[in-house]
Amino acid sequence: MKRQFIIGAVSAALLITLFIAAYAAAGGAKKEGMVEYIGAQKDIFVSGKAASVISLEEMAGQNSLYAIGPVDDLDGEITIFDSKPYITKVKGHDYYLTTTFKVGAFFLVWTEQSKWKDIPVPSNVKGYVELQDFVKKQALAEGIDVTKPFPFLLSGTPVEIRWHININRTEGKSITKELFAKSKEHFITKNEFVDIIGFYSEHHAGVFLTKYAPAIAESSGMQNAIHIHFVSRESKASGHIDDLTLGKGMVLHLPNQ
């Protein structure tokens, strides 16, 4: 009887351990195609909080890392370009930039990609929607499976970038879509050479990109399929791109499979 009790107790403990492991795995990072991600934007509207799901310190040391996401507690923007972090936060009505991994994110999307193929962007591709369409068209031409998320880069000098940095303006209240939209400081950057990091997906709205964007109104009948951040090479500007006007001679970089 005692032996049966011990075996039963061990079995129960094993089941509990397996359950905990399965639960932890369910809440961990997911990988689809060339992209990994953790957390989801939509979760903050359920919990009312923008709690951290990952520390960037866990990613320090990874090679050829590209990542974007929001700082936890609606307190900034995360952009990692070729393994170097660019963290921007708002101070007053201005912003400041640090290069630290000691930051948490309430969702994050990333890839490790060392080989890219350069594709010149034609002059007729000027705006956000045209860029989104061009990225998909070129990805298809390169044999990339566009039914799965994939990363892309863009380099050059846009005429204008309209962008924002999250700043917590909830006043301690639970986060709603209205308060989330309010918790942003907006900026405009013109004629600066930049590197843009983007992730394309038609199936991850509410996860690591929004269904609509300032450049794609809900009434348009179109749906947003890109999440893009930038890093200026001429100033300390870096953050989430809401809209942009491309300049001449820009180059799209797609994964070279």
The residues, any chain, with a CB within 8 Å of residue 33's CB and separated by 6 or more, are 145, 148, 149, 150
State the pLDDT at residue 25. 36
The series of mean pLDDT values per 10 residues for the chain, 257 residues long, is 46 41 54 96 94 96 97 97 98 95 97 97 96 98 97 98 97 94 96 98 93 84 94 98 97 94
Handedness of CA 26, 32, 34, 39 (dihedral sign): negative
* Domains within the chain, CATH numbers bracketed: 32-255 (3.30.1330.80)
Measured between alpha carbons, how far is 7 from 15 in angstroms, rounded to an integer?
A: 12
What is the pTM (predicted TM-score) of this model?
0.88
**How much is the pLDDT for 164?**
97
pLDDT at 6: 43
Integer angstrom CA distances of residue 134 from 122, 218, 227, 233 = 9, 21, 15, 24
What is the pLDDT, as a whole number, of residue 141? Answer: 97
